[in-house]
Structure 1
Amino acid sequence: MGMAFYGRSFTLASSSCTEPRCPYLSTGDAGDCSDTAGVLFNSEIEAIISDNDLTPKLYKDAAIKAINWNSDQWVSSHTFSKGLAAALGNEINLNTTTGLTSATFLLEKSATITSTSTPSQGSYCRFINCGDVCPSGYKVITREDKTSQLMLDSTECPSGYGQTQTLCCPSSSDLPTCQWRGFHNNGKCKGGCDDGEAEVGTTGAGCTKSGYQSACCSTTTSTDPWSKCAWTTSCESDKTCPSGFSNFVVGSRNGWGGMPSCKGDKTYNYCCSGSSVPDAFTNCEWKGHETTFVNTAYCSDSCPSRYIRVAEQSINMFFGNNMKGHTTDCIAGNEAYCCKGATAKVAPRSDTSEPTTYQDQTAKDFDAYLKKFLADPVCPLTWEAQYSATFGDDYVTRRSMNYVNSINGSSSSSTGFSVGKARRDLADQATTLSLLMPLLQSWITSEVPREDINRIWDLRLEEYGLENDAANSSTMRNVLFGSVDSWSGSFLYSPSSTLSDELCNIADSSQGLDRLYVASEYLCDDPSEDDDDSTLSTRTVTVVGTDTRSENNCSPSVMYVLRGIINGELSLHYLRWLQSTSSGGNELILELAFWIGSTPGVADSTARANYGDRSHTAGTDRWIVMHMHVPLDGRTFMGGDNILYMGVRNMGIYHSQGVYRPPAVTPGYQRGYRAEYRYTSSYAEGRYNTGNLQNYNSRTDTIACPRQRRGNAAQRWYVGQNRDSNVPGTASSDVDYGQLLNDFVRSLDSRAT
């Protein structure tokens, strides 16, 4: 069995509970020698036993001994001899869980949730899109030769906008050492990497006369695919590959993007060694419209979220040039060859009684419910939150068109959508969701999320081919708490609503939640940054596009609603100030009611079909209502461009069907009518949320600003200040939601003036 020479330690949640099954807060304090939290060397453990006169406690069933000292420190191991009284070895796999259950200390068998799947695209380094920052779970790579500088390449980004492409690598794997090779002061560059290095990109920067520089990295798991492939050094007229690299991947007139352009139809060819192309470079296609410009024939080299860019090339069909692209409707700009990677597969289980060891019953239940849902990831119409603020399709992708058509008995449009039958068909999934959701919410909102649950989640996403499209735990916590590491016990967005959207739109949830997070980053200001300055900084949101495909499903996405307001299909009916009932008088709400139709008060059946919720059969949706929450303090208004802008901490949205006349705010004044708002559990503790219209006014936050860097107050979205760049550029498609929110309030401002 062997004997390790260190033990794993933990900081307990309470000094009154020091047994297995007791919760803990974090790893244990670092030792003087180990200098690593959660790890103690044998010599350190022996010293602790001696200094504190401790007697290790034996747990026979789990075959471990444990000691507890300083009230909250705890360490354990397999049973050990008296001569090695503190040899608390690492023969066991102590996972980060929410409780120290005895099952935690069992040696996990090799059959425990095993997978034959290949790594996802998130396992590899890549140069990200122009203007992006490294996504959650990635780190920026510094230059080995110049540690004060980052691995950056701006040669394929629009000039004048300060944008660059950054080399990012997953922080979960060993980070490679990287540097640019091939530069010469005379402007004649000679690219190429040393033996044992992987070329992950090229640049023409500094190569004024000839050649290019190569981005060269040490070979690690995160650069392994690149180490197996190479570009031809000359332009080829066919699919000729370099010697020793027989598997053709793609041809590009600019190679990675920084290589001198080939003439005519010739290309540099990228090829790989071995029996096949690495999985990371499969399922690829040329893309140019991930970023939308005013001139839609102008294209960019941006790839979708979680794709890897393998090649890029310039396009120019003007003035007799014949630098044509592969992407349709592109006559200028750039395009990129973007790879989604291989669809992961898991070896099938031989039978239901396989010798799988779960940490506890919670893990076993979570896995069972998750598998059952992913086998048919369709939510009943009444299950999910009423809106999805984060997904760009015209209608939230809650079910496939095949499913909708099948319950209609039609292969064409879904105008005859049968709500009643859909509910009956999905009754089983409603039960599954009701059991899965509490477990998912408990896991993702805990201060220290269980690692074993995380592994189950990742494994099942791979098994069903969703590892590149579904949100992982880091993405979900980013949205709920503002960042992965800033757990506070309070949330920016409702966990139940957000996680419901995660499940019901799981194939789009990664980009969807990224959109929500990025919108807050772009639009929210932190007034605590400079207490002496009452002006807003100038910041831009680059013009980017959205998905245009429409899945004609149940409810419109918020992005679709915002577009409808901008183009006039939804009309502003009224605005009304409300006193928040939950803020102690320290907050007002601006209610904006948009009539579903181009003319307030005039019924529009087409608009209602497009913007209404088709599960609302007991009442007709007539308005879409938004609530802007405005804190009252010294930063309620801030100036910019000689104008005062109102600071909003979050904005909610809901459908409304009828009218209600609440009591007058000020006694003696005339009462005013409002669009109905009471049918939701979030108003008056759900007192009015009964009958056929139950949950018809359920709210969803469209944007919530994170906490300020000083204090616990929220940052503010100062609505009306234009954050739009006047000149189109390129950026991540995740920014399009923030851009749309910006355009929405700008459209209101233009109507007011």
Structure 2
Amino acid sequence: MKSLWVPLVALGVLVGFSTQQQCSLTQLCEAGCCSSAGFCGYGPEYCGKGCQSTCDRKADCNPGWDGSDWSKRDKCPLNVCCSPHGFCGFTEEFCEGNEVKRPSCSVGDTLVTRVVGYYEGWASSKRSCYGLMPEEIPYGQYTHIIFSFLTVNPETFEVTAGGQDTQVMLSRMEAIRILQPDIKLWVAVGGWAFNDPGPTQTVFSDVAASPQKTTKFIKSLLATMMRYGFDGVDIDWEYPVAEDRHGRDEDYENIVTFMRNLKTRMSFHVKGVSMTLPASYWYLQHFDIKALEKHVDWFNLMTYDIHGAWDIDNKWTGPWANAHTNLTEIQSGLDLLWRNEISPKKVTIGMSYYSRSFTLADPSCNGVGCRVSSAGAAGRCSGTAGVLLHPEIQEIVSEKGLKPVLNRKAAVKTVSWDNQWVSFDDTVTWRLKANHLRSQCIEGFMVWAISQDDKKGTNAQALTKALGRPVRDFPNLKGKTEKPEMQLSGPKTCRWSSCFEGCPSGFKEVQRDGHKEIMLDTTHCKNFGTKMSRLCCPMSSNMPVCRWRGHSNSGKCKGGCNQDEIEVGTIWAGCKSGYQSACCTKTESTAGYGKCMWMPCSKKAGKDMCVFGTFKDFITTSSIASGGWQSCGKNSKSTLCCESPPPDEMSGICGWVQKTGHSNSFEQSLICEASCRDDQFRVGLESGDKAPDHGKEKCKGEMAYCCDKSSPKVPRYDRDTGSAQAKEFKKLMASYMDNPTCPATILFPSLTDSQPEARSLEAESRQYEILRGRAQDCTLDNWSRLLNYVVLLFTTKQLAMSPLIKIWDDDFAGSYDKILEQKSLQEYFGESPTEDVRVTLEYVLYNPLEAGDGIRNSKAFKKDLCTESPMNNRRRNIDEEINIIQHGELVIMDDEHEIDRRIINAFSKITSKTKTQPKLQAIIQAIRGRILPLEYARWQWYNARTGHHQPGPFLELAYRIGPRIGVNGGRGFDQYRDNNPTSTRGGGRNQFILFHMHIDPSTQWLQRSQGTTFLGITSLTMYHSNSATSTYFRGANNGYIQGGWRAINHQEGVTGRTKLSCELLPTNNHARLWWVGSQSPASAGPQNPWLDDLRLWGQDLHAQGYVSRPALNLILNRPNPNAELGPEDNRRLVLNNAINPSLEVEPYRWNFRVENGRIVFDKNTKPPRIKDDL
């Protein structure tokens, strides 16, 4: 991001040009025209008569010259001031006598109502640590969370979730709502990198310039938001018009049109809209903020990144240490909004959980304004030079015993050590900033980025305290225990809410089947802006599965429900004729609708129409029935008839209601509200112009037929569950326990490590329910909801979670294995910090019979095969401290960091109890017996991911299943395949078994023992592969070169993975590693014979050269490759984008085999043909 002060300093220097004699006919002015006297400047004195050179240049603005020939425009953008020399600016030298008028409020009376947190969708896959998962976001600290970023296809201009990792993270956001149902989840589109050179650099300009492309953009954006349940969108266009950001002049007007169209569509769907704004005049001048204000709920002002390493080579700013969140400069950016009378209620001020750091030119000068030579050293977690996350800074302060210095005027703290310097914020500086900004009526604050916090939520808590927000109480999950006789029965029947309120107490919104949106109707609320009516069902009964039926692309809708469904409502939206039906499964809460029927339109509407079948009781008449019918026509209506007696909800006092008191303004006084009170039941709707028939005055819109509730009954109250969350979790768990094989045998859900396939799988699950007669609770929605609850048991550190923990321990672990109790699993996760909690728990629920043994196997691996090794400096920057060979023209494109992170899973199929999944022990024995031959070995690289691992290499070993590639070989080989239905969903049967042996370069991963050097690995991963693929690498000039073929590695949801991990022990700065090929420290014993097989396989690999000198030479730049390996070679690692100069090979590009101690490369780029010969 550009520095805030770049244009201001530049303008100050340019003003000076007008007083220096420095130009002539041949010596041109850097800015302005050369006057007859040889001075540079603008206006008629310099560019008019007698001008010597560059006479056609024009000033930014007109300070009062006659005519418009001397300036680009008369007034400055953003209402800033025009200096006497024709420059735009807003410092004192520009604006003397024209100071900005700032809003003024009492700090104590200005409550912070909005705290927005941006979440980086890539945080957990691109950083080695301090990348919070969505479930780990601390409770109650934020009112809004914005997931960043969605992207846009530059060819179709449709919004997409992007890569597989992003889709996984998007689906995990929903877990946040379980404990905070009122939190708003938004999504951002764009970002700084979106406008960097590349295929998307002009996408925003292209979309905004074309109505057709705008329509495609908005339509696809809404679809994505609906799918993942987002409440709003943040547009992050960085930046329109600006030439250095690939903008165009027409962007200035087009962005307003674009945002107007976006806001209109989002409002119709009850979605919010915000926009990020730069705090610098340089970029903000290209936003028509006054026009844009009408089309956003608020602006997010990016008041950070004011300074950084980019200042060093900039002649206007220079190489000086300065804080990137300096309050003085933040105020200057905010003043640009005040000059344009932007409402403070529409301003959200940016804070940051990271800082910009510098390397000092002279460590003895270590204060603000001291000279710097370069960006600061990369953080161990940030991995980026010049960037330190706040948790990293706190680590450094603690470890080095530093004393930060407070700068009250700038409202920052600074600290220096060695030759490093950084500024940062904490409770003190955030409070100074917040109070200053609240005095200007600011009620909204935002953070980039909440995913940079630690797992304790240290920064979130500090910010909440600084903003003066009360700490929100954790929800009471116990509920209240009441005496049975005091409890009244809750409502029985689902109902449509009013346009102005959510679901009544005791009710819950119903999710649309297969979608992330709820069942809603906005057609009758259109007169009130963004209002909507929701389908609400009693929380005390089973939730029905509901969907809309009857829509046709031709507009000829045909309403009606399936035989096993009940119609609970209708809408005419999207229909030229007919209507759509809201269809729900038959449950206790929908049964009442099935007892009534709207009869066909007739001029004889009334009691006489209630003579068919059992529908004998007359209720009312309406020309649009329940509200979604096309009008019956003149003098014709439909009649509602019910069975006798009618449902309880229609047995009380009923009548037509035009207004319930929500819209009482003069302009809305004659508008019907189409709503009932929240204690009434809405039976039907009627056009307001039909009112005289009911003795009412006409009104615009629709009125509602409302019935008062009947007298309550007093059944026995279920005292075994407490809060709404506890009730829902217990119900979900009970459904799971009734059919624990549902996920694995019916749904086949795409797991966290695969691309979601919700729609197709949902349809498949429905087919299985019908064919196998399974329970209706076996749905993907229930599976996802259950998983979200379970994950929160292990990521939410609150004693108040105990009621939910008890349900898990009693109902699940009590039925399967005591080691699966929450306390035991929590201890396991503590011992295994690189485990992805969600992935592990997915497999626990997916394989409940094997999960307990999986935990024990993982513990046995750690205990019996892993031993401690001293760490290299675990906090160092690997790029700086390892003797790395790096070549800038070769970059691997496999994105292995994404793949490996998703599959972390402790639950191996070592002792599989199923007939469909092979045992690891059997596979290892088949490998050692040469039944499964090695097809190839290959070095690859994984990048930083969540946990304590640093980036590093791993060895991929691909073993063939079958007599030759592409030939399955019959049933004899099937015992080594995963024959679970999920394994064949991707097409074909397993062709390869792949092993990944991971190296962590921050450890002493080479160790010599009894004259032999062994390779130490942190983890061993195994998975099946169904096919092969080509690989490509980015070469010089962004071209691509081809690498060797490999077994395909992105079908993890189809072919599940197993991981055995030694893990790190951060408490004593030692690592536990498996020294492949060495003797184990202790006998595995009769209980774990598979460990003996694993150890012997490792010895085979060492003897063959795959984990010893021949293969290791490929990734080590050794002066003498023929010399014996030693621990000193730890520091000679070759990175993934490198050529090994000692061997002149590209170690990460090709498959290889070791034959008689020599490396034989397979440089075949074309993958073999896979034939599934069943």
TM-score range normalised by the length of the shorter chain: 0.3 to 0.5
Q: TM-score, structure 2 length as denominator?
A: 0.27
Q: TM-score, structure 1 length as denominator?
A: 0.40
> Relative contact order (C-alpha < 8 Å, sep 6+): which is higher?
1
Q: Report the structure, 1 or 2, having the larger helix content.
A: 2
